[in-house]
Structure 1
């Protein structure tokens, strides 16, 4: 029997981080959080793991990182609503940092292009 040749599509780092692969039991052991607590975090809207056949939760590396943040914040006495707001603010900060980086890159490109086109307007005075 022939094996299907798979397309040579390797996952990007970002795709790999978001790939659901860990069961709730494995995540519980890795992070040290009981499965019931993981379910409560999901019910509180703090994270949204993928579902396998609509039943079993599957967590990604990104979910693990979020769960570690959640656990640290919970250990500091912050409730679920506070944690949700903190996570949202962190996402916004990351998004704004990316936008600032993009604008700075465009500005540098524009300044270089302007310099190449007209290195000095002072010569024409």
Structure 2
């Protein structure tokens, strides 16, 4: 689910490889995927993801998010990379710590306000992130 198994298998001793303090010998994306795998092993009903895929390349991020979609658990996602949230049931756009817009991706784009300007700046065009 977290797309980390193959990376772990490539380590010198696989799953038995000792890691430096805090996983310093791993890439940021590997650390994020290991943290995600550790959370998923508990089969949570609610999963809080705070920039949980920010260090992943877009292809790996897309695969991880597809895998998470199949879980069926509630996800609360905090993200600056908007491609992560375009399929969310509810998006809360915040500015200065306050919610200034709420809705689905398409609804917020149609309003052509703050969220739409973020999408335009980050994704270009009509916000096609798929």
TM-score, normalisation: structure 2: 0.27
Higher relative CO (Cα under 8 Å, sequence separation at least 6) belongs to: 1
Structure with more helix by fraction: 1
User: Under a length normalisation based on structure 1, what TM-score does the superposition of the two structures give?
Assistant: 0.28
Higher relative strand content: 2
Instruction: Work out which of the two has the higher radius of gyration on C-alpha atoms and give 1 or 2.
Output: 1
